[in-house]
Amino acid sequence: METPNEMRTKIVDKATGDADFRARLLGDPKGALERELGVAIPASLSIEVHEESGETAHLVLPPDSKLSESDLQAVAGGSTMGDIGRIWRAQDW
Please report, for the chain, the start and end positions of each structural domain, with discontinuous segments joined by +: 4-47+65-90
Q: How much is the pLDDT for 63?
A: 78
Dihedral (Cα; 49, 54, 55, 60), 10-degree rounding: 40
Q: How far is CA 93 from the centre of its chain?
A: 10
Contact 15, 27 (CB under 8 A): no
Is the pLDDT assigned to residue 44 strictly greater than 70? yes
Query: Per residue in 60-89, pLDDT tens?
Result: 887 777 767 776 666 655 444 444 444 444
Contact 40, 2 (CB under 8 A): no
pTM above 0.75, yes or no: no
